[in-house]
């Protein structure tokens, strides 16, 4: 059986701990590989290598760092099929969805080609008599990323592309559930010209995470995962004096107004709610039609679409809408939440729990579930299900509808479907959510904007990628300079001014 180790100092290395995690094929339930789980000492070794490599990399001019990123983009395009196939085999998502995973990371790499502009500081000539003042952005040193299973290509690239382009060295601790693609990405960065040791991939579990949080050399940490772990990482990392950004769970609502194009809205809900088996932090999991007539018509359009969803392994090609969920444990949790919805009084319009695929009986497959008459006190409304389950919560008025996402503890993304510009403008202005879609179901910003939620969906004050990403991975230094011709004789005891 294949053993997956780590990528340290420019090469794959075996683990030393003797501990391994199992990497499953979600479509068959079979163990297809073992992944090494690093000790704190192994993590420390990678950090020390990164620290040594960072000095020369940080001193490399931004233009040359951008050229490495440019070559990396070309290599991603060259190996797109290989990356997508590997990603699908370990995650279970369809090949088109896997390619989308890679492409959304590639877009951030493309944005990072503009690093020379994004690293520029400011300059003021003549700030005072003979005094010039300027600022510069400098890398932090060694930084780290802890990334989730659901986007094993995109989210690592959201982290390390920006950090590397800014001149840092990077330690990536990806999900141990699908570790192959992150190592492949590190190898492509090496091929693109990144010096050995600047990007290291250390696989592991909580021991590795805690080592990252406690290591005095690591200056900043980016995390994506559940809210409980996000809060833990943020609290412990900040307590150790690190700069930390953590993105957690979500419960994304879509408001459907009576004037909306319901066919357009229904298609959007199907794609956003059931794509990738619902294992997206930006998945729409709650539909909020305004008015019973709107709700009845929406359910009428949704039910046959959900019943007609094609579920299967990625090897079935374009004949599949979504694949299995990541683990058998995840599948049982989703089914348990669906059962709780029935017990608590929601109407299960479409029940996909008994889905069975011949030849893949041990796979983690589940058909789409559709609930109606869900209320805000139910577990299926309060919790992030992370599965192919859509809940319809009926609202009598627009004000009642928008109160649902505004009152929820999560604030990652939300959307509204309407033909009325005034309603859409009011919604975008008032809603206390980080990312808003107007007739767009999954409003993930492009690379030159920033991704981030509000409330308990995010901890920290800077978002991922975009200009926020460069601010997060750099610190500002300001220089005030005066040359001898402008120096006055004698000591000055009052606070300096520019007069």
Nearest Cα to 456, choosing from 208, 193, 261, 251? 251
Cβ neighbors of 493 (< 8 A, separation 6 or more) are none
Which of 294, 279, 385 lies closest to 340 in space, CA to CA?
Answer: 385
Tokens of 318: 């374009």
Residue 190 C-alpha from the chain's centroid = 23
- Tally of residues, the chain: 499
**Cα–Cα dist 438/417, whole Å:** 6
161 is catalytic: no
Catalytic residue, from 112, 161, 246, 281: name it.
281
In angstroms, the CA 459 to CA 241 distance is 15
Describe the strand order of the beta sheet including 252-256 as a list of residue ranges: 347-350, 369-372, 389-392, 284-289, 252-256, 413-417, 435-438
> Tokens in use for 298?
């929406």
Q: What Cα–Cα distance (Å) separates residue 332 from each residue in 248, 272, 327, 370, 387?
A: 21, 22, 9, 17, 11
Asked whether the beta carbons of 251 and 385 are under 8 A apart, the reply is no
Distance (Å, whole) CA 499 – CA 495 = 12
Instruction: Give the integer Cα–Cα distance in Å for 300 and 271.
Output: 17
CA distances from 269 to 80, 94, 318, 335 (A): 28, 18, 20, 20
- Active-site positions? 281
């Amino acid at each position: 059986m294949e053993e997956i180790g780590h990528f340290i100092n420019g090469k794959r290395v075996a683990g030393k701990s003797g501990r391994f995690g199992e990497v499953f094929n979600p479509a068959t339930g079979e163990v297809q590989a073992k992944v090494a789980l690093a000790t704190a000492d192994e993590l420390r070794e990678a950090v020390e290598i990164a620290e040594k490599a960072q000095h020369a990399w940080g001193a490399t001019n931004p233009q040359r760092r951008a050229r490495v990123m440019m070559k990396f983009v070309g290599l991603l395009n060259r190996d797109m099929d290989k990356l997508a196939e590997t990603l699908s085999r370990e995650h279970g998502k369809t090949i088109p969805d896997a390619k989308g995973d890679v492409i959304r990371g590639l877009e951030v790499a493309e944005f990072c080609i503009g690093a020379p502009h994004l690293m520029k500081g400011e300059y003021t000539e003549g700030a005072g008599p003979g005094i010039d003042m300027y600022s510069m952005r400098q890398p932090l040193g060694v930084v780290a990323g802890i990334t989730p299973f659901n986007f094993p290509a995109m989210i690592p690239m959201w982290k390390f592309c920006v950090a590397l382009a800014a001149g840092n060295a990077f330690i990536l601790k990806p999900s141990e559930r699908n570790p192959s693609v992150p190592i492949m990405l590190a190898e492509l960065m090496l091929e693109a010209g990144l010096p050995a040791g600047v990007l290291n991939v250390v696989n592991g579990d909580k021991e590795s995470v805690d080592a990252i949080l406690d290591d005095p050399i690591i200056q900043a940490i980016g995390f994506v995962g559940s809210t409980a772990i996000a809060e833990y990482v943020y609290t412990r990392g900040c307590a150790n004096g690190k700069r930390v950004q953590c993105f957690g769970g979500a419960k994304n609502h879509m408001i459907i107004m009576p004037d909306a194009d319901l066919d357009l809205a229904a298609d959007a809900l199907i794609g956003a709610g059931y794509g990738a088996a619902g294992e997206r932090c930006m998945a729409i999991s709650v539909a909020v039609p305004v008015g019973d007539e709107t709700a009845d018509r929406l359910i009428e359009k949704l039910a046959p679409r959900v019943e007609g969803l094609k579920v299967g392994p990625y090897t079935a090609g374009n004949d599949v809408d979504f694949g299995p969920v990541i683990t058998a444990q995840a599948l049982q949790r989703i089914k348990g939440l669906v059962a709780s919805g029935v017990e608590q009084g929601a109407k299960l319009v479409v029940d996909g729990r008994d889905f069975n695929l011949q030849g893949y009986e041990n796979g983690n497959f589940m058909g789409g579930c559709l609930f109606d008459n869900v209320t805000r006190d139910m577990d299926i409304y309060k919790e992030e299900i992370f599965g192919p389950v859509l809940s319809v919560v009926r609202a009598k008025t627009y004000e009642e509808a928008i109160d649902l996402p505004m009152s929820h503890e999560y604030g990652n993304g939300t959307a509204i479907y309407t033909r009325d510009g005034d309603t859409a403008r009011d919604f975008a202005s008032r809603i206390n959510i980080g990312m808003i879609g107007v007739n767009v179901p999954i409003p993930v910003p492009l690379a030159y904007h920033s991704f981030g939620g509000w409330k308990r969906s995010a901890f920290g004050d800077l978002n991922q990628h975009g200009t926020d990403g460069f601010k997060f991975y750099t610190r500002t230094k300001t220089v005030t300079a005066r040359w001898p011709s402008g120096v006055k004789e004698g000591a000055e005891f009052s606070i300096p001014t520019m007069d």
